[in-house]
Structure 1
Amino acid sequence: MSVPPLLVFTDLDGTLLDHHDYSWTAALPALSRLRAMGVPVVIASSKTAAEIAPLREEMRLAACPAIVENGAGLLPPRATPDETGDAYRDLRAALDTIPGDLRALFRGFGDMTDSEVAENTGLPSTAATNARRRAFSEPGLFTGTREQARDFVNALATAGVRARRGGRFLTLSFGGTKADRMEEIAESYGSPLTVALGDAPNDVEMLEKAERGFIIANPSGNPLPVLTGEREGRIRRSEKSGPAGWNDCILRLVSELG
């Protein structure tokens, strides 16, 4: 396999997908340009494989791997998502080993019905069903105090489980980040120039590790602080939000690289 001229890693919600209508049509010119250049575009999202697989197909990116569940797992090229992975079953089993008073304060997607996930996420019912088809990680709501949350996280750590706080959910996994997976995938492609695009705190590690990074404006979220890569000139910010900003950043970069 020849080494592509570059390798693009992209978040979805608020980055390649519009924050409000989840459309990606504004990024079509840049996606078409990358396809013509033979540049793989790797989706890197907190979404499950079941959520990403149809989107990847629709975007004509099925030949590329995808980073799923915030880096806890990978969806290989053209693969069909597993219903539930061993890692997820082990994760749920680890949850049940911690003290009952702490366990009762955490309500994960595996403890909820599809309709409860839809209510807590704002997703339509079909999307909520796919969001519960987890293979590697478990997001959920923790209703205790800060001290109880610390005890909960520490208890899980003894079982090898990591917890990461997102905007709404506390997500549990056995480790792995978008940046970790990016490094693995880049090596499999022969280590070309890596480019990352994202808009949220869970994208920071990926943005910092990439050789070129773009923070996509998201008026609906809190802006990211100034990153180390920005001070060094490796990371820039888009003026437009969502897929329109994504499109501008990619086309500008391609032009600069010649």
Structure 2
Amino acid sequence: MIVFTDLDGTLLDHDSYSHAAALPALNKLRALQVPVVLASSKTAAEIAVLRHELDFDHVPAIVENGAGVLPAGTEAPQQSTDYTKLRTALARLPIDLRSGYQGFGDWGDEGVAHHTGLPMEQAKLATQRQFSEPGLWTGPEHLKQEFLDALAQSGIAAREGGRFLTLSFGGTKAAQMGAILAQYETPFSVALGDAPNDVEMLETADLGVVIANPHRAPLPQLAQETQGKILRTELAGPSGWNQAMLEIIAQRHLEERIPTNG
């Protein structure tokens, strides 16, 4: 088995960013040597720290909402010119469109800390972007589509996440899954997420789990739910993640494979 998981609002608590409630399931997955692929809008710099903390350095991670990958065993972010090109395209927009969007590059470290609730050290990692720009549309609603259409002319796509509207030159979590699955000879895949930008990942996996998030409107019913290929949790965040993964481990009788001492 292999697990693909969103972070904020899924494996990490929406407010505290803690994964403590998911530790029982995480410990069992490590004991079973099940790869856990972190898939988030977070930067490679952010995910490298968390991946090490979770002891999954040996597993690749999907970064910046699928716009890039942090290879297994890699600590430093890979080089990319996408972010500079993206910010340049933003700067070239008409002022009435540009002024309606504020991203991480506009806020700086302190602004990112304010808007995300991250401690300053983590906020600094969040601004080390390579491929994408998360932010908020605060302009008139009738101009939002014009803003998105103007960016599309430069090849920039926008995706709604649990917190931010993220801009990039393409790439999705689901699109990165195929190559990673191939590395592991395509085992049974589980994906967990809570936001619209997780839907494709949930639908691509053999089993998807929608994690409850009381801080945002619930995802509409997905087509594969009626087939039992996508489940929903009642508990939110890492508590829901933990419950779902423990149930999946039990249903697939994986605990029998956990080595015992003596």
Same fold (TM over 0.5): yes
Aligned-partner residue type, residue 28 of structure 1: L
Q: Normalising by the residue count of structure 1, what TM-score does the alignment of the two structures yield?
A: 0.90
Partner of 2:69, secondary structure, is strand
Task: Measure how far apart 1:32 and its partner are.
Answer: 2.1
- Which of the residues 95, 102, 111 maps onto 1:116? 111
Gap change, CA 1:250 and 1:191, over 3 Å in 2:
same
Q: Say whether the 8 Å CA contact 2:42–2:65 is kept in structure 1.
A: yes
Aligned-partner residue type, residue 123 of structure 2: A
Identity %: 56
Task: Measure how far apart 1:190 and its partner are.
Answer: 1.2
Corresponding residue number in structure 1 for 2:222: 227
Corresponding residue number in structure 1 for 2:159: 164
Corresponding residue number in structure 2 for 1:178: 173
Q: Normalising by the residue count of structure 2, what TM-score does the alignment of the two structures yield?
A: 0.89
TM-superposition CA deviations, 1:121-175 (whole Å, max 9, x none):
2222222211111011012233322332222211111111112233543211001
Gap change, CA 1:166 and 1:28, over 3 Å in 2:
closer
1:140-219 alignment to 2 at 5 Å?
140-219=135-214
Question: Does the alignment pair 1:63 with 2:58?
Answer: yes
Q: Say whether the 8 Å CA contact 1:85–1:134 is kept in structure 2.
A: no
Task: Measure how far apart 1:16 and its partner are.
Answer: 1.3
Q: Say whether the 8 Å CA contact 2:9–2:162 is kept in structure 1.
A: no
- Which of the residues 33, 37, 40 maps onto 1:38? 33
CA RMSD of aligned residues (A): 1.9
TM-superposition CA deviations, 1:9-36 (whole Å, max 9, x none):
0111222122232222222222222222
TM-superposition CA deviations, 1:191-241 (whole Å, max 9, x none):
111100112222111111111111122233322221112111111122322
Report how many residues are paired.
Answer: 253
- Which of the residues 213, 220, 233 maps onto 1:238? 233
Q: Say whether the 8 Å CA contact 2:36–2:59 is kept in structure 1.
A: yes
Partner of 2:175, secondary structure, is helix
Runs of 5+ unmatched residues, structure 2? 254-262
Partner of 1:113, secondary structure, is helix
1:17-28 alignment to 2 at 5 Å?
17-28=12-23
Partner of 1:175, secondary structure, is coil
Partners of 1:106 and 1:222 in 2: how far apart? 22
Gap change, CA 1:251 and 1:92, over 3 Å in 2:
same
Gap change, CA 1:152 and 1:220, over 3 Å in 2:
closer
Runs of 5+ unmatched residues, structure 1? 1-5
Q: Say whether the 8 Å CA contact 1:91–1:161 is kept in structure 2.
A: yes
